[in-house]
Structure 1
Amino acid sequence: MDVVNATHHHDLHDDGYIGKFQSVIGLMKLKTLTLKPRHRIANEIQEIKLRIYGIKERIERYNFQSSEQQEGLSIKYPDRLGSLFVDEGEIVGFEKPKDEIVGWLVDGEEKSRCGISVVGMGGVGKTTLTKNVFDDQQVKGCFDCRAFLVVSQSYSVEALVRNMMMQFSEETKEPLPQGINMMDTTTLITVARSYLQSKRYVIYFDDVWKVDYFWDEIQLAIPDNKKGSRIMITTRNLDVANYCRKDSRVQVHKLQPLPPNKAWELFCNKAFRFDFDGICPSELKDISDEIVQKCEGLPLAIVAIGGLLSTKDKTVSECKKLCQNLSSELDRNPHLANLTRILGMSYDDLPHYLKSCILYFGIYPEDYSIRSSRLIRQWIAEGFVKHEVGKSLEEGGEEYLTELIHRSLVQVSCVHYDGTATSCRIHDLLREMIMRKMKDLSFCHVVDEDNHEQISDVTIRRLAIKTSSNNMLRSIENFPLRSLYIFDVLIKFSDYFGSKFFAKSKLLKVLDLEGALLDYVPDDIGNRFHLKYLSLRYTNVKNLPKSIGKLQNLETLDLKGTLIRELPSEINKLTKLRHLLVYNRRTYSSISGESGVRMMEGFGGMIVLQKLYHVEVDHGGLNLIAELKKLKQLRKLGLKNVKREYGNALCESIEEMEFLESLHISAISENEVIDLQFISSLPQLRQLHLFGCLEKLPNWVPRLDQLVRLSIRFSKLKDDPLKLLKDLPNLLCLAMVCDAYDGEMLHFQVGFKKLNKLYLVQLNNLNSILIDNEALPALKLIEMAHLPKLKEIPPDIHLLKNLETLRLIDTPHEFHQSIDPNGGSKNWVIEHVQMVTIVERVGPNPNSFDFSYRTFRHPKVT
């Protein structure tokens, strides 16, 4: 019955139950029909608010005025003059970067035009450094003409070329071409090319923002005259630096924040220069150190905040007030206005689709290192990542994160062995700016220990709780939330996680309870039909309710580190699930150190699943393996408790996974054979972990052209596997652990072109290692542990010229003597190794877990 009929019957039975019931049905249908359009409109309103706020920010930042206020339009940029005119004595911490860049400029014999790009976040000192290099006498003497041009976000090629010619004229005392102020762009470029054709020049382009247009236009005016000319660019965007490579050889210097000692020196120079000769009074050291830590090595912030402190009384109370109120000071204090504007420019320059992504960092606590995968999956659940043909949403999210990293807005905290970011964070002062924007846009409400009062704003859609306030947790039920995040809540969250908790949050999409003190999931979790992301990671939850099967839109279910050992059959109904993370290091598995979960028959219907890690195969056996065959979209698969008889079926199922990038297979015991010989090809495989007995290395492994990581344990291989692995073109990390190889000798032949990490652990029969010349040319780290028969360091280790780190754990005493820096005949073989760490067992007991640690640099390493 449609709405019109429902209303008509209501009129006929005005006082009857039938009429009232039909009226309710009609209203429910009307609400259902309008739910999606209302949701779309709400999203569009949010986007409009973001755009309006961006326009408002740009109006304020550039000081736009109406025609009634002035005749012409003026644009006011953040003050850059201070960075251009810094006395040599005030520059702190740039000694090494300056020497490196000056060397690139003057020492190179390259006659073709070359580029140097200095990349870093706003305020890190790019302009100060490059202007200091520009004024260096050694640089001045190497070039016929020089120019330093400030580009910024708004520029014209015509103005830049004209300014460049004026600077050349001023330095060389040559007259300017007649009529230069009246020339159009084409004529200016022609004149500049003609002038520079016979000169060795160096040109600095400061603060470049555009990825392509700037370089494509400006390089027309600066010819490659084969005289050793140089171009230098400063930018916040690594993509700008990389784009220039298409026309020139480019050296990239990623300028880092100041180290703690240099940050402290700069701060004291600014804060106490006139009162205490640049020395911090003892009573102010603790609070001053806290202020410096908040700056995180950012020179602009140190100078601005240090300068502000220099204007105040040098008392403990005054310094504490500044430190505690730094966020509000950034908003209102004119001394910090330039800092705020410069940090804000990076946000304002973002395309619209990235602004919501960077705002998301404000949800997480200060100094929080965020797993990249967690962040990207939450972006996807929120709808921030747009679908592109031929690309998964996860790949799109990775590109978004990479772009934010390249724009120097996001810092990489930890990298994977292949160089990808596994975790990331943002600078604390940038976070302060983001927090203000989040508040202005009603993007997310954050409640922490400094702000845990009762809130009554019914427009709250995202809520991040970082407090253990009982009142705050009880008040959650008052808000119609779309996303909820719990951080560091130290009271038992289970007491609040009941039916009332979900009373108004019918449209909840993201529920992140990672690390919460939670030991159960309420039955009515299934009523959250719109939920896309659910994380119970590192909680004490032991079981999932059957209602979990009602979450038809769930995309990520993170159960890592919980106490769940078996999943209910209802989970098989989650046909949109993309990531199922179920491995657990809290329950020990002797062969791999972590356990998986049991799944019920029927999970093959989750056909979009990309990550399934780990499943215990012995519960379900061949039937379970047959269901795996249906999961053709898997990128990562982890299987536990594999038996020999599963071999053929397992190979058949894995071959169907054409997108598989990571495969982890553990046998049911150390002596169980894993038979995987019948896989023909896994073209996308990048990681392979085989834990169990192998009669021989599978013959398809040497054909894995994309493989970057290989780990084998308990393999008991009789033949040296290195001869089969040496030609893998992309292998970066190799681990042979726990009786992976039973032989006495390992021979590294010519090959392993990209291998940079090698782990040899608990190979009980190994007594010698041979390394051919030109083998392992990229190796940077070797870890050798528990090798009882290896009595001396490989004599050919001196051939590994790029080796930086050598870790030796519980190796024989004779081995340690062979590399003792204070004696021994073979010290010379490791003189090139930068860092050597020795971990020795203490006492005569071979089963002792007491170790001593020694780390040293070889005496000949500078």
Structure 2
Amino acid sequence: MAESAVSLVVDKLLPLLTQEVKLLKGVHDELVGVKDELKVIRAFLKDADSKAEKEDIGGSVKALVNQIREEAYRIEDVIDDYVLHVARRPDYRCHLLCRIASLIKTCISRHEIASEIKDIKSSLLDINDRVKRYNFIPSNQGASSSNAGRGLMDHHRLSSLFIEEAELVGIESRRDELIRYLVSGDSQRKVIAVVGMGGVGKTTLAKKVYDNHRVKEHFRYHAWITVSQSYHTTELLRSMLKGFYKAINEPFPDKKMDKDEELIEEIKEKLRQDRYLVVFDDVWEIGFWGIVELALLDHGNGSRILVTTRKKDVADFSRGFSLVHVYHIEPLPQKEAWELFCSKVFGFEFKGQCPNDLEGLSQDIVRRCGGLPLAIVAVGGLLATKKSVQEWQKVLSGLRGSAMTSDPCINTVTSILSLSYGDLPYRHKSCFLYFGMFPEDFSIKRRRIIQLWVANGLVEERSDMTPEEVGEEYFMDLIDRSLVQKDEVSVKGVPKTCRVHDMVREVILSKSEKLSLCHVSSSCSTFEGIARHLSISNRGSNPPKRSTRSQTRSIMVFDKEMLQKATVRVIFTKFKLLTSLDFEDCPIDHLPKELGNLLHLRYLNLRNTDVKELPRSIGKLHNLESLDLRFSLVKELPVEISDFPKLQHLLAHGGYATGLKIKGSFEHLEFLQTLFTIKVDDDVSLLNDGLQVLTKMRKFGICNLKREQGRYLCTVLEKMTCLRSLLVYTVNHRVEIFDLEFISSPPIQLQSLWLGGQLDRLPNWISKLHNLSKLILSYSNLMDESVEVLQALPNLKSLVLFGAFNGERLHFEGGGFQKLKYLYLAGLYYLNEMLIDEGALPLLERLEMGSCPMLMEVPSGLQNLRYLEVLSFAGMTEEFNQRWSQQESKISRHIRIHRSDGTYNPDDKASFEAWEKRKFGSWEKHMFG
């Protein structure tokens, strides 16, 4: 992690040295020297950091690593401070004495910075000398504790292998399911991969499956191989071969086999005729499959390979040469977790029953373990020795602090979870630790965390990808490594939100504290210490009297109470080197003029706040890349916003069909990728000239559009060749007609589209959108031929028709909507018949229907929807409800029915409009995040 800090500084130095910045005499050369010293030191750090994750390095080396990291932070501060002073050129509109005073002050500051850089260079030279003395070899001072750590790990794995089945909870169904995968099915060789986070019970489950008599009888040859992170190919092959000989009760041959080629040939010869099962426990890297592919051939006799791993890519990689079934194992639900806890702690003395005086504490402890069997067993073993309530309370509080690493029992849990952290690439480690900024059990938006990573320089720059795309790659890697858990998932299967397991979060906080990386403060009045990133929660009502956090680069505030203006002002005056500031869901109602002090700010999030306007000083933030004003009270942006040369994401809307009025031009916003949603007025210059420069746009929303402005919008959309998401709303969407026929080259990469307003007919270019996966049409009043076009869209997964169809008969023909999973139909006021053919909507999982006042009969063909999970009706007629009640039991055998007749009253305008706003808001969130 220190290496990451140094890399970040080197990355900052390079553009500074190449840009046309008038560096003070001598400063340029000193910075070149600093850069060179850092590059030498970085090699040592990479080695030391790597070994620190796998073994306990000596105290002197740890001290040296910490010192280097602090020097890297110090250099970053100096660089940013220097840029800050360069940016503050004197205002030539003021009188001569004012300019002279400003220049003198700036010169003094620059000389101070030059002196600081000289001092840093001297420190780095001294560090470099000590690095050479250590010769890149960490001290052996920690060897004994390292061995002890490995002993704990080995003990855990042995415990997992030999745990009695009577002690297990919730394993029977998992075990039986895996056994079925092994002993039945295709005769082609198959890989079954058990994937899950560390400590979730993968090894225990695999061992119970492997030892089952049905499995042993089904496979003549079988072997159990523990792989782990540092495996040796020759030993792995030898262990496999020994297992095969042991399975048939034959002695291992005496002949010498030292080469991999010899062992592979022997294995291939042995397995030529009979079925085999090999379990590879704890696989960490995809390179392992190369040996497996060479040695374990597919003879078409039903052989199986069972793998346990924390990393999904290990399982996926084998798809190139074998059938694969990925079996995800999740933490235990609360009921089973409680049962396991009671059997472990109270199994002997109380026959598995928790005493009344300990039940409250016990429930809290089980919740804290988050369904992780390893944690439950480890903590249970510790509690079995505790007798008093006070001792139990101490254990519970310790699960949030020092006991996580100091107590030998619980330390086993953190050691195992830390292995996954240690296996991460350097860039990913910083991103992973940033999750510690969020409160416990917080649902974290994917896009939000990625934007924060980008703003804080935590993702690497690649010429072929945007920073956000690189961040997406990091995010999915953390998901696939089972370090972060999926929460809400989109129709495309991409996680929209995620959570971090409580135990994993404690590991994050522990490591962040050691690295001075993140600090979680309980209130705004506790700004002591040093942290690069600061998270504030729990009523920051008292403004801090002092701050030593000049090094802080990002602040996140999680507070449901109104912050005092003095507290807000401190954030803007004391933390001048901030690159990201996140107030999402915090009820602040203003921003002080000191916002303009944050010249390094790249990310400002005011989503769902009470802020009504932005100060004009925002015009000074020339480094701003992302501004999120969604669901704030800001209705209009100051003209200064148009002079942001680096702005890439401007998100500003307060719900469907509402947008933000923007003053000024888009002339200098050529890098803008997100503009969602803006409000147009009668002046066509915005469409005719202003938006023409936005050729890099990926997400665009526009509302208040009039019919005659449609032609201009079409010209704009043709230039947005990278567009992925589009929302267009007319000024009065129930009456105003769209005119969107003038697009000859539509944005073919478009994935999400919402058109709100009247359409004479469906624009012909929509049929060319082969990547479209989400579509909402509201108040469009289309007819039958339009539905035929939509049915042919090859990748459409989500469709909403709200007041968008005026036909009397809606026919879903066989072969139509082949990938659709979600369908919502409402406000279809003339519909009196709905038919679903066999072969139509084959993958549909959710069908929701709202008010259709002419529809009396239940849709025909519901029984053809084999994958339907949810069927919902709301605001339907009495006749329809009566007929549905007669057929419900027959249709609902395999469908989860959700009826919500009381959701709204179509005849009550206020009730209907309130429901409509909620529903449209949820669709917008579903489609556009």
After TM superposition, the score normalised by the length of structure 1 is: 0.89
SS at match of 2:496: strand
In the alignment, is the contact (CA less than 8 A) between 1:200 and 1:228 conserved in 2? yes
* Richer in helix (by share): 2
Q: What CA distance in whole angstroms lies between the structure 1 residues aligned with 2:887 and 2:700?
A: 49
1:203-222 per-residue CA deviation (whole Å, 9 max, x = no partner) reads: 100000002x1001222111
Pair 1:741 & 2:815 matched? no
> Take 1:808 and 1:414, find their aligned partners in 2: how far apart are those partners?
23
Partner AA of 1:698 in structure 2? P
Closer, same or farther in 2 for the Cα pair 1:81/1:547, shift >3 Å?
A: same
After superposition, residues 481-520 of structure 1 pair within 5 angstroms as: 481-488=552-559, 490-498=561-569, 500-520=570-590
Quote the Cα distance in structure 2 between the aligned partners of 1:340 and 1:275: 29
CA contact (8 A) 2:202 2:308 kept: yes
Hey, what does 1:678 align to over in structure 2?
742
Residue from 243, 246, 261 that aligns with 1:186: 261
Structure 1 position 158 matched with structure 2 position 234: yes
Deviation, 1:635, is: 0.5
Contact 2:784 2:810 (8 Å CA) reproduced:
no
1:551 matched to 2:625: no
Q: 1:126 aligns with which of 198, 202, 208?
A: 202
The residue that corresponds to 2:709 in the other structure is: 646
Q: Who is 2:604 aligned against?
A: 534
Residues 677, 473 of structure 1: alpha-carbon distance in 2 compared, 3 angstrom cutoff: farther
Does the 8 Å CA contact 2:224/2:278 hold for their aligned counterparts? yes
**Shift in Å, 1:101:** 1.1
Question: Does residue 325 of the first structure (1) align with residue 398 of the second (2)?
Answer: yes
Change beyond 3 A, Cα 1:472–1:356: farther
SS in 2 for 1:818: helix
Matched, 1:55 2:120: no
Aligned residue type for 1:603 = F
Query: Unmatched 5+ residue regions in structure 1?
Result: 1-24, 586-591, 853-862
User: Is residue 786–residue 809 contact of structure 1 (8 Å, CA) maintained in 2?
Assistant: yes
In 2, Cα distance between equivalents of 1:453 and 1:350: 35
Q: Distance in 1 between matches of 2:294 and 2:406?
A: 44
Shift of 1:387: 1.6
Q: Which residue of 2 aligns with 1:566?
A: 636
Residue in 1 that maps onto 2:786: 721
Superposition pairs of residues 659-738 of structure 1, within 5 angstroms: 659-669=722-732, 670-680=734-744, 681-737=746-802
Equivalent position SS for 2:861: helix
Q: State the Cα distance separating 1:377 from its structure 2 match.
A: 0.8
Residues 314-338 of structure 1, C-alpha deviations (whole Å, 9 max, x = no match): x433322211121221111111122
Query: Any idea what SS the aligned residue of 2:465 has?
Result: coil
Structure 2: distance between partners of 1:510 and 1:294: 31
After superposition, what is the alpha-carbon deviation per residue over 1:747-787, rounded to whole angstroms, capped at 9, x for unaligned? 11122111000000121111111111111100010000112
CA contact (8 A) 2:53 2:419 kept: no
CA distance in 2, matches of 1:759, 1:661: 22
Match status 1:138 vs 2:202: no
Paired residues for 1:245-264 under 5 Å: 245-264=319-338
Alpha-carbon distance between aligned partners in 2 of 1:726 and 1:37, rounded to the nearest angstrom: 65
Evaluate the alpha carbon distance shift between residue 462 and residue 843 of structure 1 in structure 2; reply closer, same or farther with a 3 A threshold: closer
1:225-249 CA-to-partner distances (Å, cap 9, x unmatched) read 1111000101000000000101100
Name the TM-score, length of structure 2 as normaliser. 0.82
For residues 853 and 703 of structure 2, the distance between their equivalents in structure 1, rounded to whole angstroms, comes to 30
Query: Aligned equivalents of 2:512 and 2:184: distance in 1?
Result: 48
What residue number does 2:452 align with?
378
Is the 1:200–1:227 Cα contact (8 Å) retained in structure 2? yes
Residues 599 and 849 (structure 1), Cα distance of their counterparts in 2 relative to 1, 3 Å cut: closer
* Off by >6 Å, runs of 4+ in structure 1: 25-51, 61-65, 67-70, 72-75, 841-845
Residues 836-845 or 427-436, more deviating: 836-845
Give the % identical residues: 40
Shift of 1:493: 3.7
**Structure 2 Cα separation of the partners of residues 207 and 844 of structure 1:** 58
Specify the alignment match of 1:280 in structure 2. Answer: 354
Offset, 1:639: 0.3
Q: CA deviation at 1:53?
A: 4.5
Question: Could you tell me which residue of structure 1 aligns to residue 110 of structure 2?
Answer: none
Separation of aligned partners in 1, 2:42 and 2:559: 29
AA partner of residue 678 (structure 1): F
Which residue of 332, 339, 345 corresponds with 2:419?
345
Give the letter for the 1:761 counterpart. Answer: A
- 1:492 CA drift (Å): 2.3
C-alpha RMSD of the superposition: 3.0
Secondary structure class of the residue paired with 1:641: strand
State whether structure 2 residue 455 is matched by structure 1 residue 369.
Answer: no
| 2:389 paired with 1:316 | yes
Task: State the shift of 1:478 in Å.
Answer: 5.9
Residue deviations 1:488-523 (CA, integer Å, cap 9, x gap): 16242423233x544443321111122333222222
Q: How many residues align?
A: 808
Return the letter of the residue paired with 1:103.
R
Q: How many Å separate the matches in 1 of 2:564 and 2:580? A: 17
The whole-number CA distance in structure 2 between the counterparts of 1:780 and 1:660 is 28
Whole-angstrom CA distance in 2 between matches of 1:496 and 1:87: 57
1:208 alignment partner, one of 283, 296, 300: 283
Amino acid at match of 2:56: E
CA distance in 2, matches of 1:61, 1:162: 32
CA distance in 2, matches of 1:190, 1:26: 68
* In the alignment, structure 1 residue 269 sits paired with structure 2 residue 339: no
Which structure has the higher relative contact order (CA within 8 Å, separation 6+)? 2
2:57/2:140 contact within 8 Å kept: no
C-alpha deviation, 1:88, in angstroms? 1.2
2:538: which partner in 1?
Answer: 467
Contact kept? 2:224, 2:240, Cα under 8 Å: yes
1:121 aligns to what SS in structure 2? Answer: coil
Q: 2 CA distance for matches of 1:842 and 1:526?
A: 47
The equivalent residue for 2:686 is 623
Which amino acid letter does the alignment assign opposite residue 706 of structure 2? K
How far 1:280 sits from its partner (Å)? 0.9
